């Protein structure tokens, strides 16, 4: 970070401090060096984890922490003894590290990044939910103050644990997340939440076949006419199972053009998980991998594992009357009956039909009857997680409570120990800089929101007007509502200085030049509000302030 970038970063940090303080969070700072042993206890350190590891000169095993659930749980578990110390909310803003497989887009995804991480500790799930709401309110206020067009989406908890989480995202074409929003009911969610089940706001028509078999082949009803089917393939991690997903590839939507749908790996993964298949989404040529695994099994004379094929049928696709295995058998040079075959047209252990495809703009909302869905590429800036006891149980972070609090019917006056209810809540500081710069910039340069701009106002003194520039600067800097202001008195040509100010993206540019000499007026520019006005000195401070309030 060079000086101006660092000012932006420090302003974001101060903004975060302000909103964390608003609900009594305490600021701490943990070491970036942490212990591999601790992370093994929580079960999060695996051979393929994106974590930098190394040994010190005495062969102690260190890691560079990418986040601090383990350390914070151990710390708080060691300090807090009784439920009377709860709720407890602690946060930090620090450098985090990740051995990122694909570092890219500058600060958006790097090996070293700055993150605010807040950890909350409560006595019961109910109080933890209250805390969760309080944090979300603070997040909303923080993002509102930034004045950026953010969305809050229901999100997947991923490998954090827990089962409730929300993402704060900024829509931008270069974003890596896909967020779905409804035009009517305001439901917003990350497409990662696709669980493979058909959800509709209307009652689902009863299925013609509750027990899947190959005799019935029910005909899809109430759906747009499918023109042709698509076939998605993947394998299990042991390469023994080939998973095939049959989905509606082209169908007629409202218009005359056929619309192409895409398979959702999240949906397929969710169904596979429920069916007990450990799907490996990183395999690029699943059919070949499966076939060569099959040949290897045959060659070794091993009969322990029969090659397996599992078919998933989207509710919009007609189920084949008999297992479509002949092509596969030919490819893998075996007989059809050598293959163990299973199919699902219902979500395992439920009667829900399957949906294997991604949301397409214009799809109906599953939450309300009237809305249609839109998808947005977006960058994740913040994430809130309710973690429950995922870490506190494993690391034994418990508090002593009277039994009555856990069980209101208890008559004893004894105490008991329970693990704390935990939440964690991040904001990506360095990625926020890139994302906001990216979304608000135009062809002439950056455009910083006032609250995180390196300076709110620049005074450009034109050649030969250094003294006048200083006068105007002093007038603004000493006014009652003094903005964060800088004087550019470098000895450069006027257009170079204006160009430079545009590039840097000051919210307001004050030019002390010809119009001051001619008519004692100061030129005030604001690209985002499309303002370019000449203002007398007496009105300058007030006018600048009125612009800043809109930015």
**To 5 degrees, how large is the angle CA 420–CA 396–CA 122?**
10
Q: Which of 1, 281, 296, 369 binds its own copies (CB under 8 A)?
A: 1
The stretch near its own copies (CB under 8 A) out of 26-34, 185-193, 356-364, 543-551 is 26-34
Q: CB 528 → its own copies: shortest distance, Å?
A: 27
Residue 28 within binding range of its own copies, rule CB under 8 A = yes
> Buried b vs exposed e over 398-411: b needs ≥16 C-beta within 10 Å?
bbebebeeeeeeee
H or E element: which one contains 251?
Answer: strand 241-252
Q: CB 64 → its own copies: shortest distance, Å?
A: 8
The residues facing 427 across adjacent strands are 116, 382
Q: CB 500 → its own copies: shortest distance, Å?
A: 15
Q: CB 29 → its own copies: shortest distance, Å?
A: 4
Q: What is the CA radius of gyration of the chain?
A: 29
Q: How many CB atoms lie within 10 A of CB 283?
A: 17
Phi, psi of 106 (to 5 degrees): 60, -120
User: Coil, strand, or helix at residue 50?
Assistant: coil
Each residue 57-96 as x (binds its own copies by CB under 8 A) or -, in order, gives x----x-x-------------------------x----x-
Which of the residues 148 through 167 are near its own copies (CB under 8 A)?
none
The stretch near its own copies (CB under 8 A) out of 56-64, 125-133, 256-264, 337-345 is 56-64
Q: Which of 29, 159, 219, 350 binds its own copies (CB under 8 A)?
A: 29
Tokens of 534: 């000449």
User: Between residues 1 and 529, which has the closer beta carbon with respect to its own copies?
Assistant: 1
Angle between the 3-21 and 125-146 helix axes, to the nearest 10 degrees? 140
Q: Which of 14, 21, 31, 542 binds its own copies (CB under 8 A)?
A: 31
User: Between residues 97 and 543, which has the closer beta carbon with respect to its own copies?
Assistant: 97
Size of the site for its own copies (CB under 8 A): 28
Q: CB 26 → its own copies: shortest distance, Å?
A: 4
Q: Which of 14, 21, 22, 26 binds its own copies (CB under 8 A)?
A: 26
Q: CB 162 → its own copies: shortest distance, Å?
A: 26
Return the HEC string of 406-458: HCCCCCCCCEEEEECEEEEEEEEHHHHHHHHHHHHCECCECCCCHHHCCCCEE
Of 325, 251, 331, nearest to 289 by C-alpha is 331
User: Between residues 9 and 357, which has the closer beta carbon with respect to its own copies?
Assistant: 9
User: Between residues 32 and 184, which has the closer beta carbon with respect to its own copies?
Assistant: 32
How remote is the C-alpha of 32 from its chain's centroid?
Answer: 23
Which of the residues 354 through 373 are near its own copies (CB under 8 A)?
none
Residue 52 within binding range of its own copies, rule CB under 8 A = yes
Q: How many residues does the chain have?
A: 551
Q: CB 156 → its own copies: shortest distance, Å?
A: 24
How remote is the C-alpha of 459 from its chain's centroid?
Answer: 38
User: Between residues 1 and 281, which has the closer beta carbon with respect to its own copies?
Assistant: 1
Q: Are strands 508-512 and 457-461 parallel, antiparallel or unpaired?
A: parallel
DSSP 8-state code for residue 396: T
The residue written with tokens 């005495």 in the block is: 58
Q: CB 338 → its own copies: shortest distance, Å?
A: 39
**To 5 degrees, how large is the angle CA 351–CA 357–CA 361?**
120
Q: CB 454 → its own copies: shortest distance, Å?
A: 11
H or E element: which one contains 119?
Answer: strand 112-122
User: Between residues 28 and 537, which has the closer beta carbon with respect to its own copies?
Assistant: 28
Q: CB 33 → its own copies: shortest distance, Å?
A: 5
Each residue 491-510 as x (binds its own copies by CB under 8 A) or -, in order, gives --------------------
User: Between residues 21 and 517, which has the closer beta carbon with respect to its own copies?
Assistant: 21
Residue 27 within binding range of its own copies, rule CB under 8 A = yes
Burial class (CB in 10 A: 0-12, 13-18, 19+), 355: buried
Q: CB 48 → its own copies: shortest distance, Å?
A: 9
Q: CB 52 → its own copies: shortest distance, Å?
A: 6
Q: Which of 21, 33, 281, 467 binds its own copies (CB under 8 A)?
A: 33
User: Between residues 3 and 173, which has the closer beta carbon with respect to its own copies?
Assistant: 3
The residue written with tokens 């009357």 in the block is: 321
Residue 331 within binding range of its own copies, rule CB under 8 A = no
Q: What is d(CA 141, CA 119) in angstroms, rounded to the nearest whole number? A: 19
Q: How many CB atoms lie within 10 A of CB 436?
A: 24
Which of the residues 96 through 125 are near its own copies (CB under 8 A)?
97, 99, 101, 111-112
User: Between residues 65 and 170, which has the closer beta carbon with respect to its own copies?
Assistant: 65
Answer yes or no: are the C-beta atoms of 423 and 386 closer than 8 Å.
Answer: yes
The stretch near its own copies (CB under 8 A) out of 48-56, 315-323, 348-356, 436-444 is 48-56
Residue 320 within binding range of its own copies, rule CB under 8 A = no
User: Between residues 1 and 369, which has the closer beta carbon with respect to its own copies?
Assistant: 1
Q: What is d(CA 38, CA 396) in angstroms, rounded to the nearest whole number? A: 12
Q: Which of 14, 53, 333, 493 binds its own copies (CB under 8 A)?
A: 53
Of 468, 463, 460, 458, nearest to 491 by C-alpha is 463
Q: What is d(CA 19, CA 144) in angstroms, rounded to the nearest whole number? A: 11
Q: Note the maximum CA span of the chain.
A: 97
Q: What is d(CA 318, CA 216) in angstroms, rounded to the nearest whole number? A: 10
Binding site for its own copies (CB under 8 A): 1-3, 6, 9, 26-33, 50, 52-54, 56-57, 62, 64, 90, 95, 97, 99, 101, 111-112
């Amino acid at each position: 970070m060079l000086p101006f970038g660092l000012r932006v970063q420090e302003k974001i940090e101060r903004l975060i401090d302000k909103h964390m303080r608003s609900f009594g969070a305490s600021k701490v700072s943990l070491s970036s060096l942490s212990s591999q042993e601790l992370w093994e206890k929580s079960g999060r350190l695996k051979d393929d984890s994106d974590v930098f590891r190394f040994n010190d000169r005495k062969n102690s095993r260190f890691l560079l922490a990418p986040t601090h659930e383990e350390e914070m749980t151990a710390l708080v578990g060691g300090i807090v003894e009784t439920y009377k110390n709860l709720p407890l909310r602690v946060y930090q803003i620090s450098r985090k590290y990740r051995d990122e497989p694909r570092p890219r887009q500058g600060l958006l995804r790097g090996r070293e990044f700055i993150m605010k991480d807040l950890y909350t500790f409560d006595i019961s799930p109910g109080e933890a939910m209250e805390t969760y709401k309080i944090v979300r309110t603070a997040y909303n206020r923080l993002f509102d103050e930034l004045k950026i067009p953010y969305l809050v989406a229901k999100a997947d908890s991923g490998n954090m644990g827990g089962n409730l989480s929300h993402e704060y995202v900024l829509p931008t074409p270069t974003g890596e997340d896909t967020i779905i929003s409804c035009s009517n009911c305001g439901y917003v969610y990350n497409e990662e939440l696709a669980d493979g089940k058909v959800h509709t706001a209307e009652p689902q028509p009863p299925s013609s076949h509750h027990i899947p078999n190959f005799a019935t082949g029910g005909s899809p009803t109430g759906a747009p006419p499918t023109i042709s089917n698509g076939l998605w393939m993947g394998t299990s991690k042991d390469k023994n199972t080939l998973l095939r997903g049959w989905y509606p590839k082209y169908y007629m939507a409202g218009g005359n053009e056929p619309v192409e749908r895409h398979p959702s790996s999240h949906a397929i993964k969710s169904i596979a998980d429920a069916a007990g298949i450990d799907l490996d989404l990183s395999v690029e040529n699943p059919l070949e991998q499966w076939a060569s695994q099959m040949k290897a099994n045959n060659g070794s004379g091993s009969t322990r594992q029969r090659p397996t094929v599992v078919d998933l049928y989207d509710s919009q696709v007609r189920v084949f009357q008999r297992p479509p295995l002949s092509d596969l058998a030919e490819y893998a040079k075996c007989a059809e009956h050598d293959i163990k075959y299973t199919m699902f047209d219902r979500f395992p252990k439920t009667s829900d039909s399957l949906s294997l495809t991604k949301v397409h703009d214009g799809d109906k909302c599953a939450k309300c009857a009237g809305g249609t869905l839109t998808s947005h590429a977006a960058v994740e800036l913040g994430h809130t997680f309710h973690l429950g006891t995922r870490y506190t149980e494993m690391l034994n972070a418990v508090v002593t409570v009277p039994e009555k609090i856990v069980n209101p019917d208890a008559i004893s006056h004894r105490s008991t120990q329970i693990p704390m209810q935990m939440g964690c809540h991040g904001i990506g500081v360095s990625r926020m800089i890139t994302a906001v710069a990216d979304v608000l910039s135009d062809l002439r340069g950056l455009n910083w929101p006032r609250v995180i701009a390196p300076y709110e106002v620049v005074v450009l003194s034109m050649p030969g007007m250094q003294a006048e520039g200083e006068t105007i600067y002093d007038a603004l800097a000493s006014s009652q509502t003094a903005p964060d202001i800088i004087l550019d008195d470098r000895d450069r040509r006027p257009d170079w200085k204006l160009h430079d100010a545009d590039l840097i993206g000051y919210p307001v540019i004050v030019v002390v030049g010809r119009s001051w000499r001619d008519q004692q007026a100061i030129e005030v520019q604001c690209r985002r509000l499309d303002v370019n006005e000449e203002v007398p000195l007496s009105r300058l401070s007030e006018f600048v302030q009125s612009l800043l309030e809109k930015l």
